[in-house]
């Protein structure tokens, strides 16, 4: 039976801005009930108002890097929604610093937010999905998790890690009705580069040129929603340059990394 969005309750983390906000508005517009999460309750409430049939959506603010807050958020979401059909793990932070200029503390921070926080929340939600006999877990990875490049060493490693973890989860729980999808965004017009961590842990504070010229968050959300409802599991949403890089990588990784070295894309 084909799933319809109007029958789904979807929990989206990192929903206060960027692609999380765009996904919330898009999926709500298709009829889904959305649980919106992020750290800023005021921004989440503003996104909720942008969503179609705003009164039916739920705001659950929390800091995903905090273990106790994550547990309480899960209990709150479960109590208010009664069930969760999909979990879209979108919260995260990027990086803009060379490996030799990045402290271990910052690398651990990136891994904690972009990997451990995602798996932690997923483990909380999965038992309910298994009991339901159905559910979908969506991991927002990155093209950076498929192709290593300058200034994103730890970020790319975390996104590659969450990709592999999701692949294993799919293999382990498919027979229990659990679907798992990986989405790999390329450059998307959001504040991701402005909020990206530099080598000492401070935010970069500026917009990258490549990010500024990327796909819009709205276009990303449209493509993602169509792919997810069709049951696609490996979803690349990116511009032509990123897609070309992935094709070159399949044919000749050494040639790709020669191009990456020469490009110096930040």
Answer yes or no: is 254 within a domain. no
Instruction: Find the mean pLDDT for residues 35-53.
Output: 98
Answer yes or no: is 99 within a domain. yes
Answer yes or no: is 263 within a domain. no
Is the predicted pLDDT of residue 1 greater than 60, yes or no? no
Answer yes or no: is 256 within a domain. no
Answer yes or no: is 22 within a domain. yes
Residue 116: DSSP 8-state: I
C-beta of residue 178 within 8 angstroms of C-beta of residue 135? yes
Location of structure tokens 């997810």: 228
CA-based R_g, the chain, Å: 18
Is the predicted pLDDT of residue 2 greater than 70, yes or no? no
Which pLDDT value is given to residue 257?
84
Mean pLDDT (the chain, rounded): 95
List, in order, residues 6 or more apart from 230 with CB less than 8 Å away: none
Cα–Cα dist 112/124, whole Å: 17
Q: pLDDT tens digits for 181-239?
A: 999 999 999 999 999 999 999 999 999 998 999 999 999 999 999 999 999 999 999 99
Task: Give the structural domain span for 186.
Answer: 5-239
Task: Render the burial of 71-103: b for 16+ CB within 10 Å, e for the rest.
Answer: eebbebbbeebeebbbbbbbbbbbbbbeeeebe
Instruction: Find the mean pLDDT for residues 253-266.
Output: 82
Cα–Cα dist 248/254, whole Å: 9
Which pLDDT value is given to residue 238?
96
What DSSP letter does each residue of 15-53 carry, written as one string? TTSHHHHHHHHHHHHTT-EEEE--S-HHHHHHHHHHSTT
Answer yes or no: is 259 within a domain. no
Q: pLDDT tens digits for 59-106?
A: 999 999 999 999 999 999 999 999 999 999 999 999 999 999 999 999
Is the predicted pLDDT of residue 4 greater than 90, yes or no? no
Instruction: Find the mean pLDDT for residues 111-117.
Output: 98
Across 128-206, the runs of DSSP E, i.e. the strands, are 135-140, 178-185, 188-189
Number of folded domains in the chain?
A: 1
Stretch (H or E) spanning 247? helix 240-251
The model's pTM: 0.95
What CATH code is carried by the domain that includes residue 72?
3.40.50.720
Answer yes or no: is 264 within a domain. no
Q: What is the dihedral of CA 266, 165, 16, 191, to 10 degrees?
A: 0
Catalytic residue among 75, 155, 234, 257: 155
Which pLDDT value is given to residue 265?
73
C-beta of residue 58 within 8 angstroms of C-beta of residue 81? yes
Answer yes or no: is 247 within a domain. no
Instruction: Find the mean pLDDT for residues 254-266.
Output: 82
Instruction: Please state, in angstroms and as integers, the Cα–Cα distance from residue 184 to each residue in 130, 166, 226, following that order.
Output: 26, 13, 15
**155 classed as catalytic:** yes
Tokens linked to 103: 């402290």
Q: Which of 111-125, 190-204, 216-230, 249-263 has the lowest mean pLDDT?
A: 249-263
């Amino acid at each position: 039976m084909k799933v319809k969005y109007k029958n789904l309750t979807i929990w989206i983390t990192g929903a206060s801005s960027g692609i999380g906000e765009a996904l919330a508005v898009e999926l709500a517009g298709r009829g889904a009930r959305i649980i919106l999460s992020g750290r800023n309750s005021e921004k989440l409430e503003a996104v909720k108002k942008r969503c179609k049939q705003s009164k039916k959506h739920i705001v659950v603010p929390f800091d995903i890097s905090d273990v106790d807050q994550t547990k309480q958020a899960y209990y709150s979401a479960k109590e208010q929604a009664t069930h969760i059909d999909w979990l879209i793990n979108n919260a995260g932070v990027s990086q803009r610093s060379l490996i030799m200029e990045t402290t271990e503390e910052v690398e651990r921070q990136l891994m904690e937010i972009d990997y451990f926080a995602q798996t932690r929340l997923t483990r909380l939600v999965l038992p309910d999905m298994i009991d339901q006999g159905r559910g979908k877990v969506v991991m927002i990875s990155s093209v950076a998790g498929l192709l290593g490049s300058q200034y994103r060493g730890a970020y790319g490693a975390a996104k590659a890690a969450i990709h592999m973890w999701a692949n294993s989860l799919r293999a382990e729980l498919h027979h229990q009705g659990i679907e798992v999808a990986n989405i790999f965004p390329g450059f998307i017009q959001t504040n991701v580069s402005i909020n990206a961590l530099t080598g000492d842990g401070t935010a970069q504070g500026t917009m990258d040129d490549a990010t500024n010229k990327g796909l819009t968050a709205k276009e990303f959300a449209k493509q993602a929603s169509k792919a997810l409802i069709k049951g696609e599991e490996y979803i690349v949403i990116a511009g032509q340059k990123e897609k070309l890089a992935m094709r070159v990588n399949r044919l000749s990784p050494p040639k790709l990394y020669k191009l990456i070295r020469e490009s110096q894309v930040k």
